Structure 1
C-alpha cells in the first residue's frame, strides 16, 4: 500500500464534517425578504370549487404548476403532498395544471392517480401562455410560494423536493430569503 493510498481514508474522514454541513452558521448574515404586491388569481378546481387569492389567504401557500404529460410534474405533485403532510404549522397548497380546458378528463385522471390532499385546478389561457397573475411562469414543473398576504415570496422553476420546499418555507417564516434550490432526489 502506497503512502498516498494510506492517507486517502484519513483525508476523506477529515473532509466529511465540512462536506456534510450545508446549513449556514447560526449567525450567518441573511437578506430580508422583499415582496411585491398581492397577486390576484382565481382558477376553477376540477371539483368545481375555486383555488384563489381569497381561498388561500392567511397562510403560506405553495402552488405547483404542472402538466399531466410530464413525469417531473407527477413527482412534483407527490413532493407537494409530502410537504403538506409534514408541515407544521399548516400551509395551503394547490396544483395548477397548465393545460387547456379540453384536457379536463386527463387532469381528473391525473388527480385520481396522485390523490393529493390539496385542490387541483386548471389554468386559464393567460397563465398557460406565461401571462396572467404569475407572469413568466409557464414551465413545468414550477413552484410559487405566497406569503399569508398573497404576495409572491419565492419561485422555483423545475422539480423541487419536499425537503427543499420545506427549507424554503422555514426560511420565509423566519423572514429570510430561501437558499437556491438543488435538484430534487427521488428519495422524498
Structure 2
C-alpha cells in the first residue's frame, strides 16, 4: 500500500475511534440558530478589528454597508477547507453585493500554516488571524469557537445568522436571500 494510502487509512481508523462522543452544546449566552434559519432577532456585534494576512484591516468599519459572511476556520480541519472553498464560490456569485471574509481560529505562531492554507486554496477574500479572546469564544462573536462556523452580518453590522458546523452553499444562498429581503439597500 503506498505511503499516502496508509496514512489516510490510519487517519480514518483514528477518526472512527474518536467518534461517538456527543458534541458539547454552545454556552447558553451564545446566540445560536437552527442550521437553516436566522436568529430570532439581529444581535449587535461589538466593534472588531483584525489584521489580515496582507496587512489590511478586517473590521466592523471595513465591512459596513454590505451583507457580510464570515467563516471561522482552522488549518487542521478538512471541513474548514471545504467551507473556505464554499465561501470563495459564494463570493464569486455575489460580487460586489456581499463581503466574504475568514477568521482563522489559530494562535499567532500558526501564521505560516494559515498563509499556506490561504495560498493553497487560492482564497480571494480577506483572511485574518483571530485574537485570543475570539479564539476562546469571548470576543465580539461571543460563544463562537467552533470550526468551521459561519456568521452572517446584515448591512448594519448586526449578526443575523450563526451556523455551527459546515454551511453548505445552498443553505448560505437561502439565508442571503432572506437577509437581502429583510434589509434592502
TM over 0.5: yes
- After the TM superposition, which segments of 4 or more aligned residues of structure 1 sit over 4 Å from their partners? 30-33
Equivalent residue for 2:182?
175
Which structure 2 residues correspond to residues 85-124 of structure 1 after superposition, within 5 A? 85-87=92-94, 90-124=97-131
Kindly indicate whether the alpha-carbon contact (under 8 Å) linking 2:69 and 2:99 is maintained by their aligned counterparts in 1.
yes
From 82, 87, 90, the equivalent of 1:80 is: 87
Larger Rg: 1
Q: Structure 2 unaligned runs (5+)?
A: 1-36
**How far is 1:86 from its partner?**
1.1
Distance 1:31 1:152 in 2: 9
Q: Answer yes or no: is 1:58 the counterpart of 2:65.
A: yes
* Structure 2 counterpart of 1:134, from 141, 149, 160: 141
Secondary structure (helix, strand or coil) at the match of 1:39 reads coil
In 2, the alpha carbon distance for the partners of 1:35 and 1:104 equals: 32
What secondary structure is seen at the aligned counterpart in 2 of 1:174? helix
Picking from 125, 129, 132, the partner of 1:125 is 132
Structure with more relative contact order (C-alpha pairs < 8 Å, separation 6 or more): 2
Q: Cα offset for 1:111?
A: 0.4
**For the aligned residues, what is the CA RMSD?**
2.0
